[in-house]
Amino acid sequence: MTHAADPAQTTWRKLSRAELDRVFQAHAAFRAARTGGKRADLSYCDLSSTDLSGRDLSDANLTATRLRQCRLVGTKLHNANLFASDLRLVIGHGIDLSLADMRGACLRGADLSDGKLHQSDLREGQLVRTDTTGNLVQFRFEPLASEMTAASLARADLTQARLSTAFVVQADLSDAILKNIKAVRTDFRSSLLVGAQLAGADLSHANLSGAVLRGASLIGAEWSGANFKGADLAGAVVDPAAYTSRELAGSNLARPDPGLLDRLPQILASHEEWVQSGSRSGTRADLSQAYLAGRDLKRTNLAAAVLNCAVLVGANLTEARLAMADVAYADLRRATLVCADLRGVNFDHAMLEDADLSGASMTPVSGSGVSAGDRTWQARLDRAKLARAKLRNTVMRGVRFADADFTEADLTGADLSGAILHRARFTGAKLDGTKFEGAELHSAIDLKL
């Protein structure tokens, strides 16, 4: 992608504080549709190290603007033109870059964690100008690759963003929302995509070698021709077709293991002995990354067992004992956990969409009896995905649910007293008779009490 440069511009412009304030005032009037308003044109300006936090620069022209090491915390740049801009080492927590044209921009080392970048354009781009003979030639102030190397976009929302051919090496995209992104031939080498939501993403021919996709959701994603060599896919949530995918053939994705199923009764018996003896005999069950989809584990004693990254899709865990169990990053879609003992369980980042946890108990539990001294475990479901889950009459007092998703979940009669629900989403949830006494509801989303 190319963009015509200003032929008269040969270096960055420096603006005084007074000049910059006048630009901001005129832009504020422009945004409010007031007389005398004028869209901010800061193209080719050097604003390095300027604090623009909280400013509304939506629709502004920042083509080739130098924003290196600027503070852009909470800055609004919705629909702004940032073509070929220099955003290296920017501090921009919570920035709004939705619909922004960022083709050719350099985000090396930038911190845009918790930012809004949905439908932003982050593809390659370069400025061109007309030379003395009328031909278009590439124009740049200095060598500046279009890249996001070492950028932090943890928890950022990049829904439907265009990233095709972008250079995103060693970037932190942990828990980022990357639904339906276009990332054809994008270079994600060694990037962190832990817990990232990549549903519907087009990753065709992308380079994900060495990337960490632990607990990432890849449902409906396309990755034909992609390179996953050395990638960590433990706990990744995938469609059934993924298990026969040529691209994932050598990955560490959990797969059916007939040998494990043959040993399972012995493993569970030894674990029961370990629990009953207070860890003096028997062996604690380690079923991490085990493929147990559809298994009947009704009333099974899995207290304090290790099940992180396990695949338990459609499993029957009715009345199972999972107190203090480590089930982080596990895939429990459509699992049945009715009346299960979930006291002190660790469900961080667990996929519990369409699961039935009705009547289950998630209250804190003491570690006595499992050789844990006086320690008390609090159930944790930070960033757990509970969309459409059934939680009728479930006891969740004091549970941690930071950033959890309860979209369309049935919480009828549930007890969330004292629960920590920071930024938890309740869009369309059923809350008839739900108790929230003493709950921490800071920034809870779509919670209508």
169 Cβ contact partners less than 8 Å away, ≥ 6 residues apart: 147, 148, 149, 150, 187, 188, 189, 190, 191
Q: By C-alpha distance, which of 371, 374, 414 is closest to 390?
A: 414
Model confidence at 141, in pLDDT bands (50, 70, 90)? very low
pLDDT class of 92 with cuts at 50, 70, 90: very high
Rounded CA-CA distance 448/441 in Å is 11
pLDDT over 90 (residue 310): yes
In the chain, what are the domain boundaries?
Answer: 254-449
CA dihedral sign, ordered 29, 33, 34, 40: positive
Q: Which of 277, 325, 283, 282 is nearest to 300 (CA)?
A: 325
- Over residues 288-301, the mean pLDDT reads 97
List, for residues 21-39, the tens digit of each pLDDT value.
999 999 999 999 999 999 9
Report the distance separating Cα 351 and Cα 347, nearest Å.
8
| b/e code 67-96 from CB counts within 10 Å (16+ = b) | bbbbbbbbbbbbbbbbbbbbbbbbbbbbbb
- Among the ranges given (133-137, 139-143, 246-250, 288-292), the one the predictor scored with the smallest mean pLDDT: 139-143
d(CA 62, CA 101): 10
Q: What is the mean pLDDT of residues 402-409?
A: 97
Contact between residue 298 and residue 266 where contact means Cβ atoms under 8 Å apart: no
pLDDT digits 0-9 by tens, 219-245? 999 999 999 999 999 999 999 999 999
> What is the radius of gyration, based on Cα positions, of the chain?
26
Confidence of residue 145 (pLDDT cuts 50, 70, 90): very low
* Integer Cα distance of 348 and 366 in angstroms: 19
User: What confidence category does residue 135 fall into, taking pLDDT thresholds of 50, 70 and 90?
Assistant: low
* pLDDT tens, residue by residue, 58-84: 999 999 999 999 999 999 999 999 999
Query: Mean per-residue pLDDT for 359-386?
Result: 80
Domain 254-449 fold is Pectate Lyase C-like (2.160.20)
| Overall average pLDDT of the 259-283 stretch | 96
What are the start-end ranges of the E strands in 173-285? none
Q: What is the pTM of this model?
A: 0.89
Task: Report the Cα 217 to chain-centroid distance in Å.
Answer: 9
Range with the poorest average pLDDT among 322-326, 370-374, 399-403, 439-443? 370-374
The residues, any chain, with a CB within 8 Å of residue 86's CB and separated by 6 or more, are 64, 65, 66, 67, 68, 105, 106, 144
Give the tens place of pLDDT for each residue, 182-230.
999 999 999 999 999 999 999 999 999 999 999 999 999 999 999 999 9
166 and 183 in contact (C-beta within 8 Å)?
Answer: yes
Residues in the chain: 449
Average pLDDT over the chain reads 92
User: Which stretches of 161-227 are DSSP H helices?
Assistant: none
Which residue has better confidence, 123 or 144? Answer: 123
* pLDDT of res. 9: 53
Indicate whether 374 pLDDT > 90: no
First to last CA, the chain: 49
Please check the confidence at residue 132 and state whether its pLDDT lies above 90.
no
Residue 314 exposed, middle or buried by CB count within 10 Å (0-12, 13-18, 19+): middle
| Contact assessment for residue 221 and residue 206, using Cβ atoms and an 8 Å cutoff | no
Cα–Cα distance for residue pair 241/40, rounded to 1 Å? 50
